[in-house]
C-alpha cells in the first residue's frame, strides 16, 4: 500500500471534493495525509485522515477566516484577481516547504487540486507520481468552450468561437506570474520544461460528462467520474427542523466565500415574498447578526446541513459553486443561479444549458427578476425533469469508486490511464 498525500486549498468546496477521495483510498488500505495550512486541520481530522501543516508562519490559525471575509465582499474580476493572488502565495509556500515535508513524511504519490499545480512540480522534483483533481470547472482551454468566468452558453457559431479566442488571449496574462513562478522553480530544480501543469497520468473531474460542454481537445487520460459527496466526512450541523412549515422549500446559499454580500440576501428575501414557499437561507458560516431584518420571515442559519436540506428542496438559489451545483443535481433539485466570480459564471451557464435551472447574473440582480426566475423554475416541470435526468447520469457514473481505481492504477503503473 502507498502513502498518498493530498493537496488542495483549505476552502470548503475543494475540501468536500478532496476528502471523500482520501477516505476511499484510506478504506482501501493506503495511508493518506493532507498537507495544508492549519485552518484545514479540523475538517481533515473530522474526515479521519492524517494532517501535516504547511506555511504556519505565513498562514497561522485563523488566516483563512480573514482572507475569506475580504473575498466575501468582492465580486467579478476583483474577486478573481484576489483569488489568484492567494493561490500564488500558497503555491510559493508549498514550493519552499513541500519537498522537505513530503520527504520527511515518506509520501509515495500526490493527489493535487488543479488549482494547486505547484504540487505537480514538487512531485516531479521528488520523482513521485501525481494525479490531478478538478474541484472547479476544468481550466483546459478550447476555442469552442467559453472561458470559465463567463456565463456564455456553448455555441459553435463562428463569432462565438472568435469571441472565446479573443477573451482567452486577453485574460491569459492574469496567470502570467503564476506560470513564471512554476517555470523558475523547474529551472532551479533542473526539471524538464513543463508540458502541462496537470498530471500526464490521469486528470479527474467530479463532473459527470453530461454536465459539461462538448469537449474535443481533452487528453485521453481525462476522466469524468461524477461526484464524491460524503456526509460522514463533514462535521454534523444543528438545524431547527421543527421550524420547517411543510410548504415547498426554497433553499438559498451563496457558499462559504461570497457570504458577506448582504444586499444579495436582502434581494433573495424580497424575491421570495408572495411565493407559496418557505425560504431557508444559509450564510455559509457568516454571522446571522451581519444581516439586517429580512422581509417574509425566512429561516436564517449560519450553517446548514446542506445535503439533508437538498432532499427536501423544491428549488435552490445558489452562487453556482461546482460542489453545490453537483449536490443539487445528485438530489435532482433545479436551481436559480446567481454567480459571483471565479468559475461560478461557467457553472451557472451549464445549469442553464442543461435546462436544470435559470441564471440571474449578479450585475442584473433585482428582486423582480429573481422572483420571475423562481416562479418559472417552480412551476415549469421541465426544470425538475432535467435535474432528474442529470441525477440519473450521476447515479450511473463511477463516482468515488471509479476515481480511486484510476488513482491506484496511475500511481502503481506510472503510465497514463486512458478512458475506456
| Predicted model pTM | 0.92
CB neighbours of residue 139 within 10 Å: 15
pLDDT at 74 (0 to 100) = 63
pLDDT at 287 (0 to 100) = 76
pLDDT at 277 (0 to 100) = 96
pLDDT at 60 (0 to 100) = 87
What domains lie within the chain, and their CATH numbers?
3-227+397-413 (3.40.50.2000), 238-395 (3.40.50.2000)
Q: What is the mean pLDDT of each run of 10 residues along the chain (420 residues)?
A: 95 91 97 95 95 92 73 68 80 95 98 95 97 95 95 97 95 82 95 93 97 96 94 84 96 75 90 96 81 89 93 97 96 97 94 98 95 97 98 96 98 95
pLDDT at 71 (0 to 100) = 66
CB neighbours of residue 236 within 10 Å: 9
pLDDT at 73 (0 to 100) = 66
Amino acid at each position: 500500500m502507498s502513502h498518498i498525500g493530498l493537496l488542495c486549498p483549505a476552502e470548503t468546496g475543494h475540501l468536500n471534493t478532496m476528502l471523500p477521495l482520501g477516505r476511499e483510498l484510506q478504506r482501501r488500505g493506503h495511508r493518506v495525509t493532507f498537507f495544508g495550512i492549519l485552518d484545514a486541520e479540523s475538517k481533515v481530522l473530522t474526515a479521519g485522515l492524517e494532517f501535516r501543516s504547511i506555511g504556519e508562519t505565513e498562514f497561522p490559525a485563523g488566516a483563512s477566516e480573514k482572507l475569506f471575509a475580504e473575498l466575501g465582499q468582492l465580486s467579478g474580476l476583483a474577486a478573481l484577481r484576489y483569488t489568484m493572488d492567494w493561490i500564488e502565495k500558497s503555491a510559493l509556500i508549498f514550493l519552499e516547504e513541500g519537498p522537505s515535508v513530503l520527504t520527511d513524511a515518506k509520501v509515495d504519490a500526490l493527489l493535487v487540486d488543479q488549482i494547486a499545480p505547484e504540487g505537480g512540480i514538487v512531485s516531479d522534483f521528488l520523482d513521485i507520481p501525481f494525479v490531478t483533481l478538478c474541484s472547479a470547472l476544468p481550466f483546459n482551454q478550447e476555442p469552442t468552450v467559453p472561458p470559465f468566468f463567463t456565463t456564455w452558453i456553448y455555441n459553435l457559431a463562428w463569432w462565438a468561437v472568435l469571441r472565446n479566442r479573443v477573451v482567452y488571449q486577453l485574460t491569459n496574462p492574469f496567470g502570467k506570474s503564476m506560470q513564471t513562478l512554476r517555470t523558475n522553480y523547474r529551472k532551479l530544480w533542473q526539471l524538464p520544461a513543463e508540458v502541462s501543469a496537470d498530471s500526464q497520468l490521469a486528470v479527474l473531474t467530479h463532473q459527470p460528462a453530461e454536465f459539461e460542454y462538448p469537449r474535443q481537445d481533452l487528453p485521453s487520460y481525462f476522466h469524468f467520474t461524477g461526484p464524491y459527496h460524503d456526509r460522514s466526512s463533514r462535521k454534523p450541523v444543528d438545524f431547527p427542523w421543527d421550524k420547517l412549515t411543510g410548504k415547498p422549500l426554497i433553499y438559498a446559499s451563496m457558499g462559504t466565500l461570497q457570504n458577506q454580500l448582504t444586499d444579495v440576501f436582502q434581494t433573495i428575501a424580497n424575491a421570495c415574498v408572495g411565493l407559496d414557499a418557505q425560504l431557508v437561507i444559509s450564510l455559509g458560516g457568516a454571522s446571522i447578526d451581519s444581516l439586517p431584518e429580512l422581509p417574509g420571515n425566512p429561516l436564517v442559519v449560519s450553517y446548514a446541513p446542506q445535503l439533508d436540506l437538498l432532499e427536501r428542496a423544491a428549488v435552490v438559489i445558489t452562487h453556482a459553486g461546482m460542489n453545490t451545483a453537483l449536490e443539487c443535481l445528485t438530489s435532482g433539485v433545479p436551481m436559480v443561479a446567481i454567480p459571483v466570480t471565479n468559475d461560478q459564471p461557467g457553472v451557472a451557464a451549464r445549469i442553464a444549458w442543461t435546462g436544470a435551472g435559470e441564471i440571474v447574473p449578479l450585475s442584473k440582480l433585482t428582486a423582480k427578476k429573481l422572483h420571475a426566475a423562481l416562479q418559472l423554475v417552480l412551476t415549469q416541470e421541465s426544470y425538475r425533469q432535467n435535474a432528474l435526468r442529470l441525477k440519473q447520469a450521476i447515479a450511473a457514473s463511477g463516482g468515488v469508486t471509479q476515481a480511486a481505481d484510476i488513482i491506484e492504477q496511475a500511481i502503481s503503473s506510472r503510465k497514463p490511464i486512458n478512458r475506456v
